[in-house]
Amino acid sequence: MGDSVSASIDPNRIPRHVGIIMDGNGRWATRRNLPRRRGHQEGLTAAKRTVRAAREIGIEYLSLYTFSTENWRRAEDEVSFLMGLITTHLRKEYDFYRDNCVRVLHSGDLNRLPESLQDEIQLVTHDTAHYDGIKVNLAINYGGRDEIVRSVNRWLRNGRSGGDLNADALSAYLDLPELPEPDLLVRTGGEHRLSNFLLWECAYSELLFTDVLWPDYDERHLQDAVLEFQRRERRYGATECAT
């Protein structure tokens, strides 16, 4: 990174897990009189740029809200384009995963996705499982409420042992129980809501909202987000100790 912003980051207080709601692709394209699909294509470029920046900063886990359970409500041609774009992108980026030691993970319900995309997700998560660099969780056909419901159903089918369901038991049946809870959740595009992303996991995450549209998001914006995180005091419901 090598500039004054990156030099200001405390290497001992890096957020371990950062989640990003990548919002604003369509508006970015509309403002430039371009088709919405161009915005989604530029959004993929921003995602790769952000993965590199996160790795350089020292972030261990990066969760990207790629396609939500609500996104099926969009126009059929846009949904079809997105499914094809994600499928092709996963297949084309193996050199990127290797060069940056990226382990790809997935959260969300595979069942509703096209079979070709299901296959690509299963292949890329398997083929990158040995990489020991940054772990990138792609939330595809993901919804926070949906994950909680599916987790309860998994517990009922496989884990119930006569006791009541508690928070620790439910957490063990989330899509990716090995992921630490996000320290920081960033949303681009100017909206101030979670939009059903990581609802269970973000109970104590620091939230940061920016007006920057996702295709314009770059390493400087991520550095600024980490600096803002480091300025905050996390109490997890406790009060400040008296001195």
- The pLDDT tens digits of the residues spanning 91-138 come to 899 999 999 999 999 999 999 999 999 999 999 999 999 999 999 999
23 is catalytic: yes
At 38-61, the pLDDT tens digits run 999 999 999 999 999 999 999 999
**Is-contact 132 103, C-beta < 8 A?**
yes
CA distance 222 to 10: 14
Structure tokens that stand for 126 in this block: 């398997």
**pLDDT confidence bin for 234, thresholds 50/70/90:** confident
**pLDDT averaged over every residue in the chain:** 94
Q: What are phi and psi of 138, to 5 degrees?
A: -95, 115
Under 8 Å between Cβ of 197 and 19 = yes
Question: Domains in the chain and their CATH numbers?
Answer: 14-231 (3.40.1180.10)
Residue 95 annotated as catalytic: no
Say whether 74 sits in a helix, a strand or coil: coil
Q: List Cβ neighbours of 165 (8 Å cut-off, separation of 6 or more).
A: 152, 155
Secondary structure element (H or E) that encloses residue 6, with its range: helix 4-8
- Give the whole-angstrom CA distance, residue 74 versus residue 61: 29
Tell me the pLDDT band of 7, cut-offs 50, 70 and 90: confident
Rounded Cα gap, residues 69 and 95, in angstroms: 29
SS3 67: strand
Q: Maximum distance among all alpha carbons in the chain?
A: 61
Of these residues, 23, 146, 175, 183, which one is catalytic? 23
pTM over 0.75: yes
Share of the chain above pLDDT 70, in %: 94
The catalytic residue among 71, 127, 196, 216 is 71
Distances (CA, A) of 129 to 55, 101, 139, 241: 17, 10, 17, 43
Torsion angles phi and psi, residue 26, rounded to 5: -65, -45
Residues 18/61, Cβ–Cβ less than 8 Å: yes
pLDDT (mean) for 74-102: 95
Euclidean distance between CA atoms 26 and 31, whole angstroms: 9
41: amino acid identity, one letter: Q
Helix residue ranges, H only, 59-165: 76-92, 94-99, 115-127, 144-154
